[in-house]
Amino acid sequence: MDIYGAAYYPEHWDEKFWNVHIKVMKEYGIEWVRIGEFMWSVIEPEDGKFDFSVLDKAINILKANDIKVILGTPTATPPAWLTKKYPEMLPVDWHGQVRGFGSRRHYSVNSKPYKDYALRITEKYASRYGDEIDAWQVDNEFGCHGTTYSFANADLEKFRVWLKEKYGNIENLNKAWGTVFWSQNYNDWNEIVFPINTPTFENPHQMLDIYRFMSDSNIEFLKEQVDIIRKHSKKPITHNFMIDFMDLNYRKMAEYIDFVSWDNYIATKDYDPLRQSANHSLMRSIKHKPFLVIEQQPGRVNWRVTNENFDPEYLGMWTKQAYLDGAFGVMPFRFDQIRFGAEQYHGGLLDYAGRPSKRLEAFSKVKNETSGMIEQLKEIAIYFDYENEWIHRISHVNRNFKYWDAVVEIYKAVKNLGYNAEFVFSDDEIDEYKVMIVPYAKYIPEEFSSKLKRFKGPVFVTAMSALKDQNNWIRERIPHNLIDELGLEVVDFGAIDKENGAIMSQNVDVYYWKEEIDIIDSKVIGIFSDCSPMVTQKNNWYYIGTVLDENGWKIVLSDVLKSRVVGRDFEIAKTIDGYVILNLKKDINVVYLNGEKVELKPFECKKL
């Protein structure tokens, strides 16, 4: 990898500590830092009064010591004086309540006063530091803490403009939204409001447009900052995406940045290393290029209900895993563990006394084991779409079903069979992959259906796929535009909790969704417990009329993917030079690759 660094906050320390910190950085191989993304009130303590002395000194001393700098624009933390002057800039939540000052991300991206000031401070940053620093980060974690969504007056006004641009006239909107249902017809754009605190279900077509609009609003704000920075700097620009985060269309947002970076934290109650891998692969797939882990959990965090303190060796393993999955760098958050503020319980690379910790030692050591880059061969493609995640949120069939969770089960099955997995989007070309999986894709654009029909390898399509159109209407016949290829029609469906089934005479558990399938000219290779069709095959096309877990997917995929690996607690990647395998255990592990025994030391990453 090229980047070994950490998040650093010089403004949190007396300047006498800076040289001490930098000495430790150099001793342990910290070559990059990200700074500046929360310094708005330091730089602009009063309206229009700018003081860059702290940031100037910090950048100068870092550069003098050959430490590269990623500079973040500080727009995620508007100062108190700004919210006092323009309280209307504060966001409004789903319940109509104003979200106030006192933490961070307390702004609506559609507030004109806020954006005027945010773009002004961005201009000040960009014009002052230009190409003096090494890369830029725009804002910090767009949408974090539920802040993608704001329903203030500014948001509503902008939403109406967005709708006018999309539909042209109110008649088109009424038709697309099906407003004849429940007497929701609109005569004028100004009659449209956000459906917050409604007595019951919201209009599902309006809700999909709200999700689209809120994502577009954040993307527009990012683009405005990017455009300002590009006037003054040729350095690459990024934004830090988040784990398991579906509120924003990251694929669309990534069009305006030079490389994808993201924050790798354990977001689930139970740690699952292959879930982290799935997120790595999604980040790599957004641009189909290497990515940066710009924030890596160091050990303990501060924002979970219970914050486990992972052993220092885990930081080394997490860094190796990012390397295995195509990262070009890892930067733990944070370098300097702090004794005050909202993140005082968050771990770092230094301890509270400013001494190097065992985590820093583990991170420094792994640098020698992660040289170069790993490029995984294209093997298995999993279709993914942020808008499908939004459509699933609006579903009233089984609200326990979670799109990304179900996709991760497929990813884990593919990885544990020993194959590479990549996510593809509707505008990607798919011909280079060996197998195509299209899971729970309620809406499949016509362009992607055409690509599937031309695909030469096996295609696996699941329940719920091609059920909806672009406006979130249910199709007349399901799966739309794929009935001939699959040799079946879905004539009805309903929710289940957990039932039993069988695939190729092997018992499986099935979840959430059960379809009634009318067989046309496919053959049945899996059944529900009532002996009705569940899994079918026609030539290279397979259909699964329910939701499977990892074990079920291993069985159904085994018809075309012979298992390469036998073992537990590993991750493997196939490259042009062979295989790279990572032991996910802190104990000795043994796996069998293509029948050959492979012994792995604790958390070892081995090239074969």
| Distance separating alpha carbons of residues 160 and 414, to the nearest angstrom | 44
Question: In 3D, which of 264, 254, 256, 261 has the Cα closest to residue 287?
Answer: 254
Confidence of residue 550 (pLDDT cuts 50, 70, 90): very high
In a domain, 78, yes or no: yes
Query: Which listed residue (27, 31, 202, 295) is catalytic?
Result: 295
Task: State whether 543 and 449 are in the same domain.
Answer: yes
Question: In 3D, which of 138, 134, 108 has the Cα closest to residue 122?
Answer: 138
Number of domains in the chain: 3
Task: State whether 334 and 455 are in the same domain.
Answer: no
- Judge whether 295 counts as a catalytic residue: yes
- Enumerate the known binding-site residues: 104, 140, 303
Task: State whether 345 and 442 are in the same domain.
Answer: no
CATH at 548: 3.40.50.880
CB contact at 8 A, 441 and 464: yes
Task: State whether 395 and 299 are in the same domain.
Answer: no
CATH at 139: 3.20.20.80
Beta bridge partner(s), residue 69: 33
Task: State whether 402 and 325 are in the same domain.
Answer: no
Q: Is 258 exposed, middle or buried (0-12, 13-18, 19+ CB in 10 A)?
A: middle
Task: State whether 438 and 524 are in the same domain.
Answer: yes
Mean pLDDT of 99-116: 97
Residue type, 182: W
In a domain, 187, yes or no: no
In a domain, 597, yes or no: yes
562-593 confidence digits (pLDDT tens): 999 999 999 999 999 999 999 999 999 999 99
Task: State whether 260 and 119 are in the same domain.
Answer: yes
- Judge whether 409 counts as a catalytic residue: no
Query: Above 90 in pLDDT, residue 490?
Result: yes
Length of the chain: 608
Share of the chain above pLDDT 70, in %: 100
CB contact at 8 A, 22 and 6: no
Confidence of residue 304 (pLDDT cuts 50, 70, 90): confident
Task: State whether 405 and 425 are in the same domain.
Answer: yes
Please give the mean pLDDT across all residues of the chain: 97
In a domain, 207, yes or no: no
Angle, CA 425 vertex, CA 216 and CA 454 arms, to 5°: 140
Question: In 3D, which of 369, 346, 352, 337 has the Cα closest to residue 297?
Answer: 346
Domain boundary among 369, 391, 417: 369
DSSP helix/strand/coil, 447: helix
Domain boundary among 369, 392, 413: 369
| Distance separating alpha carbons of residues 347 and 394, to the nearest angstrom | 37
DSSP helix/strand/coil, 379: coil
Mean pLDDT of 145-154: 98
E strand intervals along 56-167: 68-72, 135-137
In a domain, 165, yes or no: no
In a domain, 192, yes or no: no
384-393 confidence digits (pLDDT tens): 999 999 999 9
Angle, CA 251 vertex, CA 160 and CA 439 arms, to 5°: 105
In a domain, 173, yes or no: no
Query: Which listed residue (37, 141, 379, 571) is catalytic?
Result: 141
Query: Above 90 in pLDDT, residue 303?
Result: no
Domain boundary among 334, 369, 404: 369
Task: State whether 223 and 351 are in the same domain.
Answer: yes
The β-bridge relationship of strands 240-242 and 237-238 is: unpaired
Structural domain harbouring 310: 3-157+215-369
Confidence of residue 53 (pLDDT cuts 50, 70, 90): very high
Entry pTM = 0.97
Share of the chain above pLDDT 90, in %: 99
Query: Above 90 in pLDDT, residue 487?
Result: yes
334-384 confidence digits (pLDDT tens): 999 999 999 999 999 999 999 999 999 999 999 989 999 999 999 999 999
Task: State whether 276 and 299 are in the same domain.
Answer: yes
Task: State whether 419 and 303 are in the same domain.
Answer: no
In a domain, 197, yes or no: no
Q: Which long-range contacts (CB under 8 A, 24 or more apart) does 493-500 make?
A: 493/397, 493/463, 493/464, 494/397, 495/397, 495/398, 496/398, 496/546, 497/400, 499/528, 499/529, 500/528, 500/529
Task: State whether 515 and 597 are in the same domain.
Answer: no
Mean pLDDT of 169-173: 98
Tell me what pLDDT residue 62 has: 98
